[in-house]
Structure 1
């Protein structure tokens, strides 16, 4: 499975990347030089240098289930550094030379430009024509559509990460705490645990985003899954009282000391270590942490001692507990140019086989339905698979639709919110102002 802080940053940092000076026109102006642009008779793929999982899976498929497709149109890989990847895509799109398949732009607004320019394939229509629509899990599909603000699917979920509260079963049982299903239950559980001398939550306050995730999820549970889209569309502001309520609720956890001391100095690895060595009862994190949970050298509490609880409901809220917070990690897109029979055949084979192959070969949970899941998966991985399979829809993270500046300001101040030194109103004002400035 993809592991370590590097992979975590790869998942999230591209979403706030600055594309650099000068936006290139996304119109045809001749073939690109030095790229692996789409061409007939081949199946070209462009990925980030740092990500070896996707190309490794494609190579495995080319030698196995997709051998016929590979004979007709050989897999031709290329790569570019992650920090410059969006700029590379922008350059190729401006020259109408995108690869047949490539990792999608990390910045949602850039993907929207590709979609508006008609440069990427409407996969909803293609998958329906190929009869493999059911191979995309509903929660993954809804995540991608929400991310790009589209009614159709324009990328595929090579990963699918759900988020929620992982908990130490023994610590909850020893202190008579039930798994919380409402926010009030969660606060009451934290109070009971703290009273018993157990730190309720581990949190990465240094990076900030694990704290801001809680704000976004509270908003979705309280105001409904489209509440943050309303902010992005200008129909509401983060400084509106009903939105500030969510930030205040998270700040209250920090003021009560439920996140522990000096959370601004606790980074991702330290928070993970706290939880896996039994020093906290709850840990809000995504399913990419399964690699850590299943590593006996890191996990001293035992993988079978870890349970998963979805983000709880808010009393009287418009959201539902089965709307799972999620992200699609590294989606892939298909270029419209030179999308012919060979590329169509590759698309069908990938959609039909990628999920099983990447799980078996790399331990990565994707957004594809499985035909033959491994029988020896750890319990935590089985839990994630079941939650993904059952989820009817998903919700995006707090900053998903923010500007780059808004994302940076939000995450920079997440630690202050989580420590209780920054009020919910002040936090929301800072983020709203940053989004307004662009």
Structure 2
């Protein structure tokens, strides 16, 4: 998944069925997850197995191979191979069962499968490895927090892609109307009413995709119940049908009932919703930093200088913090524990040190620290970069910990929720039922 420009792929991919969990627990690699290596011989190439749909990581690695990491590439040549995303989970599982994982490979589509690989000892412990290499501080703590939340509590993936989410707004519309950036939910509601009264769509959103609406549900949950609100559901300690959870769905349903999403939210796809905001017809849009690809393009009618960003606002009396940004790491990559040799370690150190800057040159903001001050960025990109660099904690998104069925039902029914065709109670029950069914 691309950091700068995602479209319909905001939920975790669900790849082909794994060959069997049992294969993942056969004779875990001798290096384990401890970051200490265990390879019996030095690999002859620095192979990177990735999903074919990811077109953003390879150009940066190739640039490093001929630039900052030229010496590492000479010692251990980079070789990139690709397979379709749908086949990746099964391929990784098969290679793991044969003790044939390459030095670096893309994670499977389902975070739970990545956690199984780590538990079985196949993945490198980056906390230890990067600390040993003296470059642990070159990875954003916010990105590490997101990885740990997604992949079983360990820093066992690298954030080649990293996106934070929040509300982008039209600075000119705000300035022309004398509107201040809202800091609280009540402020946001008051602002939405003013936007509608001014003949604007308050929030552009794609009901066809659904997830842009459910992101608002989870945003409200995280601000009211705290960052573990959906982890509690995943762990069976709470249910989406509990009153506090239904209340969050009702808040977003009320936005729809008041017309703040416009009259055609159910039929808007991702591109149409984005266009509505970037042509000045909507005051705000909830989205992730992948939207920078659209904002900074020549097709942005309102211009990048007229786009601002603020976090999901605080809810009075809530347990969450406005500094906890919803975030994801796209489809990250990891290193195999059994192939972690001295030359692979050299590659890891060089990548960690230089990836953030090289990505920034190519218009991408990642979870690696980018400290080259000579790189010029549009103001909105600088805002996002500074937010990522300073972020220490993160939360996930509504469907992040859901199974495939619950994730699909959530997105499908979101438009029904905001158009009044499904009650908040029924919406949350439909998703919870799918979770209960497993």
Whether the TM-score (by the shorter chain) exceeds 0.5 is yes
User: Partners in 2 of 1:157 and 1:3 — Cα distance?
Assistant: 10
CA contact (8 A) 2:208 2:269 kept: yes
- Equivalent positions of 1:322-333 (< 5 A) are 322-333=323-334
User: Partners in 1 of 2:192 and 2:204 — Cα distance?
Assistant: 12
SS in 2 for 1:140: helix
State whether structure 2 residue 63 is matched by structure 1 residue 60: yes
Deviations 1:34-82 (A, max 9, x none): xxxx962321110111222212211111111111111221112211012
User: Partners in 2 of 1:241 and 1:28 — Cα distance?
Assistant: 44
- Equivalent positions of 1:239-318 (< 5 A) are 239-297=241-299, 299-318=300-319
SS in 1 for 2:201: coil
Name the counterpart of 1:34: none
Stretch moving more, 167-176 or 112-121: 167-176
Relative to 1, partners in 2 of residues 1:46 and 1:311: Cα closer, same or farther, differing over 3 Å?
same
Deviations 1:169-206 (A, max 9, x none): 12222233211111111111011111222221100110
Deviations 1:113-145 (A, max 9, x none): 101110010111111111111001111110000
SS in 2 for 1:8: coil
Name the counterpart of 1:82: 85
Q: CA deviation at 1:421?
A: 2.4
Q: Which one of the candidate residues 130, 149, 156 is aligned to 1:127? A: 130
Name the counterpart of 1:343: 344
CA contact (8 A) 1:200 1:281 kept: yes
User: Partners in 1 of 2:49 and 2:374 — Cα distance?
Assistant: 29
User: Partners in 1 of 2:12 and 2:178 — Cα distance?
Assistant: 42
SS in 2 for 1:102: strand
Name the counterpart of 1:434: 434
Relative to 1, partners in 2 of residues 1:125 and 1:29: Cα closer, same or farther, differing over 3 Å?
closer
Relative to 1, partners in 2 of residues 1:215 and 1:374: Cα closer, same or farther, differing over 3 Å?
farther
State whether structure 2 residue 221 is matched by structure 1 residue 209: no
CA contact (8 A) 1:45 1:102 kept: yes
Relative to 1, partners in 2 of residues 1:296 and 1:436: Cα closer, same or farther, differing over 3 Å?
same
Name the counterpart of 2:403: 403
State whether structure 2 residue 372 is matched by structure 1 residue 372: yes
User: Partners in 1 of 2:367 and 2:163 — Cα distance?
Assistant: 8
Q: CA deviation at 1:375?
A: 3.5
Q: Which one of the candidate residues 228, 238, 257 is aligned to 2:240? A: 238
| Structure 2 residues without counterparts, runs of 5 or longer | 30-40
Name the counterpart of 1:413: 413
SS in 2 for 1:401: coil
Q: CA deviation at 1:30?
A: 12
CA contact (8 A) 1:202 1:259 kept: yes
User: Partners in 1 of 2:353 and 2:4 — Cα distance?
Assistant: 29
State whether structure 2 residue 354 is matched by structure 1 residue 356: no
Relative to 1, partners in 2 of residues 1:275 and 1:381: Cα closer, same or farther, differing over 3 Å?
same
CA contact (8 A) 1:26 1:96 kept: no
Count of residue correspondences: 427
User: Partners in 1 of 2:54 and 2:423 — Cα distance?
Assistant: 39
CA contact (8 A) 1:204 1:271 kept: yes
User: Partners in 1 of 2:234 and 2:383 — Cα distance?
Assistant: 33
User: Partners in 2 of 1:44 and 1:293 — Cα distance?
Assistant: 34
SS in 1 for 2:166: strand
CA contact (8 A) 2:108 2:114 kept: yes
SS in 1 for 2:309: strand
Name the counterpart of 2:107: 104
Q: CA deviation at 1:2?
A: 4.6
Q: CA deviation at 1:29?
A: 8.0
User: Partners in 2 of 1:73 and 1:287 — Cα distance?
Assistant: 34
User: What is the aligned-residue RMSD (CA, Å)?
Assistant: 2.0
Relative to 1, partners in 2 of residues 1:13 and 1:321: Cα closer, same or farther, differing over 3 Å?
closer
| Structure 1 residues without counterparts, runs of 5 or longer | 32-37
* TM-score normalized with structure 2 length: 0.93
Q: CA deviation at 1:373?
A: 4.2
User: Partners in 1 of 2:149 and 2:305 — Cα distance?
Assistant: 34
SS in 2 for 1:281: strand
CA contact (8 A) 1:16 1:408 kept: no
Relative to 1, partners in 2 of residues 1:13 and 1:394: Cα closer, same or farther, differing over 3 Å?
closer
Stretch moving more, 237-246 or 371-380: 371-380
